[in-house]
Amino acid sequence: MRDSFPVAAQSISGLHHEQADPFDLGERLLTAREVAARLGVSERWLRDHATRRNPRIPAIKLGPLVRFRWADVQEFVAKLETEKNFKHR
C-alpha cells in the first residue's frame, strides 16, 4: 500500500525534511544517452557497466529499457574518486 510508506517529517520551522521515497515522482529517471553525455563516456561503456552480473553502476531495468537515477551515478563517481585516492597512498 502506498500509505504505509513514511511521510516526510515536518520541522519546527515548518519546512519538510526530505526522505528517500521509492515512488517520488519529483526526480526523472535518465536514459543511458543522457548519463553517458554527462559523464563523457560512450553509451556502450555505460550499458556494459550497468548490465553486468555485478553491475558497477546501479540501473533500473524496465523491460528492454535501462534507466538511471542521477544520485546513483554520482555515488558511483564518488566511489571511483575514493578508490583512486586510496590506491595512490
Residue 55: the pLDDT is 84
Q: Which long-range contacts (CB under 8 A, 24 or more apart) does 67-74 make?
A: 67/29, 67/30, 67/31, 68/29, 68/30, 68/31, 68/32, 68/35, 69/27, 69/29, 69/30, 70/27, 70/30, 70/35, 71/27, 73/30, 73/35, 73/38, 73/39
Instruction: Give this prediction's pTM.
Output: 0.62
Residue 25: the pLDDT is 63
**Is the pLDDT reported for residue 31 higher than 70?**
yes
pLDDT over 70, % of the chain? 64
Q: Which residue has the higher pLDDT, 82 or 31?
A: 31
Q: Which residue has the higher pLDDT, 11 or 63?
A: 63
